[in-house]
Structure 1
Amino acid sequence: MGRIAIFTKTNLQDYRIIKLKEEIKNYNNISIIDIEKENIFPYNEKILNYDLYYFFVGSNFLSDIHFLAKYLEQNGKEVINKIHVKESIISKTLFYSILNKYVKIPEFVKIYSIDNIEYVINKIGFPMIIKHQFIHRGEFVHKIDNEKELYNFLEKYLLEKRINIKNLIFQKYIPYEKDIRIIFIGKPIGAMERINKNSFKANISQGGYGKQYKLDQEIIDIGYKIMEKCDLQIFAFDLLLKDNQYYLIDLHHIFQYEGFDKYLNKNITKEILNYLNEISNKS
């Protein structure tokens, strides 16, 4: 059985870290490596003492994981979610650019100067969604209903809070019938409808709750297309359903799953560890 390293930020008070520390006691061949304390560049060869590597919670582009992933692969090591080897910064913009030809995505625009805001208005119209390309969990998703709200938003976030407009995505609002989170761990693990009666944001972290949603073949096909085109093996993605059409709104290589465990009676941490062992045994 191969040795497996999971890179994470060990001091985070996070449900997923807590579950990982509990579950990993049952696996003698899997180790947790702190992505900040033990990530020293140029890399020490002791980092090569494992056969398979997975980047978990807290490991992001600020830790230069792209360089670490490339170093590991160049030394013959297996990296789960190989997108880390190819891309230095992973964002909604990257995923949209890769998948826009293959999966239905609500119409979107990115601009790099406020001078082009009229183009956004004419292209997207109202209501529109404004989201940050790096922020997830619904924490920077705003529904804008008219031009006055748009300019108030821009004044608040661009001028007062110094958000760079190049990090914003302007997207057509979909008045969805269902919001669905899907998890793939080498294969489809399940789907959960997210419901929030008090907000258009159905995220569990925004006060929503979940219930089982039946995986259909179209969702499964979308998941495998994401796996192929983005070179991801462990990931989650979010769909909106409107008039029998699925729209991809987000994709996560590191994702929240407390709601899955709670509402679908899953153990996603165990699913991840078992999958890592399965891949390690094949290597």
Structure 2
Amino acid sequence: MQGKTLLLGTTGQLGQAVQRAFSQAGKELVKELVTVGRDRCDFTQPDQIRQLVRNLQPQSIINCAAYTAVDRAESEPQLATTINATAPQILAEEAEQVGATLVHFSTDYVFDGHHHLPYTETDPPNPLGQYGKSKREGEQAILATCSQSLILRTSWVYGAYGHGNFVKTMLRLGKEREKLRVVEDQIGTPTWTGDLAALVTQLPPDFTGLYHYSNSGVASWYDFAVAIFAEARNLGLSFPLQQIIPIPTSEYPTAAQRPAYSVLSSQSLIQALDHIPPHWRSSLQKMLKNYFS
């Protein structure tokens, strides 16, 4: 990142992580960073988005704002589309007008999960639910509108900030229950916001296109849950939880259908930037150590 940078979505888990990564990267990056949360830019209000970019005239825009309530999106499809597709299109239009680079985050849920090998950027999207559909529409709008844009698809994002991610939910439930039932037939890759954020601060200014980036390795939600408690106990934490029971998706019905397999291949980004993502288990260790220190 070079020059004045507008960071949107600073109240969310990824936005807070990116803001922290900029702070750790050094004073030169921080002094050029303008952070904006929902209170200053409501993504349901197009005029606020346009006015913000026109007034600020940034060289780079990092959009961490998103509608991420996967199940609720089934009953709020218009709101999901407004935040995940319409607002990014407006950002892309304004970025193009001021000559800014737009960095935007998307999701493994743009795929239907019928693969058995990691998805590449050339695999055709086919989202199963309204959340995935809205994110795919956002991708298409940005790519068609902004010549200097970077879309990073990622997966199973968690971190120390924000609410409702899988790690924090598991830790909370582990304090309340002796048994947990966790889905074992959905396969993906947990990705730590700390790794995503660090990548963003290191991006070359001319790096554009559509890329996949998640931590390396593969896990089910059950594998992820088992690892969370193993690593937390290694740090000296105790839980009344006695058993984690693997169950099929059919025993855990949700409003939105999830892809059964949504592992992303980061190979294109690795080759382009010579950057190998850490394994998800080592990143989980680091996140928990930082969180409980």
Query: Per the shorter chain, which TM-score range?
Result: 0.3 to 0.5
- Relative contact order (C-alpha < 8 Å, sep 6+): which is higher? 2
TM-score normalised to structure 2 length: 0.37
TM-score normalised to structure 1 length: 0.38
| Structure having the larger proportion of residues in strand | 1
| Structure having the larger proportion of residues in helix | 2
